[in-house]
A and B are shown apart, each in its own frame.
Chain A
Amino acid sequence: MEFSINKLIANSSTVQWGFYDPEAKPLFNVSSGDIVEVHTEPGMREVDSEMREIVSPELIDIVENGERKLGGHILNGPIGIREALAGDVLEVKMLEILPRYNWGFNRFRPLSGGLPEDFPYERRIIIEIDKEKNVCDWETGVPIPLSPFFGNMGVAPPLNLGKVTSGVPGPWGGNMDNKEFTEGTSVFFPVFVDGAQFSIGDGHGCQGDGESCLSALECGLIGKIQFFLHRNTALDVPMAESSSDYIFMGFDPILDNAIKSVIREAIKFLVERFEMKKDDAYTLCSLSLDLRVTQIVNGTKGVHGLLSKSLFEDMN
């Protein structure tokens, strides 16, 4: 079967800058199975003189002519998914993710980040991206391997929530900043409005679990993503599947609470998908579910649980 391929390059008329909006109209519609190639820009609220020398004309266009609301992330979209209805599940598969430019940046600022008490000042550094060697470097002598993923993606939130900031994660996805969402991973979202209305951006060239200082290697990315609509399943919060793991997510301002959400999602999945007894699922989580701190810097923090798919090879 032939799927259509659309290209979506970020500019002032193709992005939602800082928000997810259940009432936004789609830029275009695709069908289940279709592929979209997105070219995203890193989020910034202004282009200062240092940045002006390296950024693309499109990013300048967005910052000068776009309308920013609520948050700071530049999100390509929304893309409508034909026939998607509230209650469905939208699968978004990351087919390919590549850095777009040879630069990115990292920054922290007062009252934000993981250690605001220790770092009560602003700092931004431009980071060189070496696509050939697949590392980034800012002259510390510590080149860090790239592992690109989109930090911020999701469907339109429920109508009664109205516009939500791109700064936090939630049931619609949003600013999840989950470093597991690299090439080959599928992310599954609950659909809240007709057409699902998917948006994506906030490229991260690399990031540790936690995104400790506030930001990752923020950079432009080119991604090939494929959409699949699922009708016979339901979700309350996004989950994901990589080639090796099932990934469950919890979001809460307090990590201890986010952890509980993750364990509950994992147990529910094991009971529903593999017909395990609840008690056995709890034990299996204790023996095999790896709890990781997704991010501590988005107000609503995140935890994710990784459960190896190899455990279920005989059961599928």
Chain B
Amino acid sequence: MGKRLVNFLKGLEIIDSIIGVFGVGFILLAALFVQFFHHESPCPLCLLQRAAFCGVGLSLLMNLRYGNRVTHWALAILSAITGLSVSIRQALLHVNDPKGFGEAVLGLHMYTWCFIGFFIAIVGCALMLIVYPEKK
């Protein structure tokens, strides 16, 4: 039973990394969509958040390329923490401004969505570290 469970989880780990990579890709494409079709140029802090998302995506891509390793999930968490810091910084910059910075998407500004995205990435990667056994 235990071996079957381990095999099942090993099969799922690839799917989880694929979902993560596609999720990060979707977020970056959405940012580019807002930039080019809604004519909102990114500020330096937005660029840093995009860079952090690239870091999360590359770390998850390493899982697909080199296999599931603790190092890759930890790298994703590290990149997500840097991005989370930047998004908190930007949210605090505009927290007293009723209009905020830039266009709101579904009621929240882009930096708030980034905060949510990075938070989900951190929690998800931490759960993966708990669940998946590392290949020897």
- Whether chains A and B associate is no
**Chain B residues close to A by CB (< 8 Å):** none
**Chain A residues close to B by CB (< 8 Å):** none
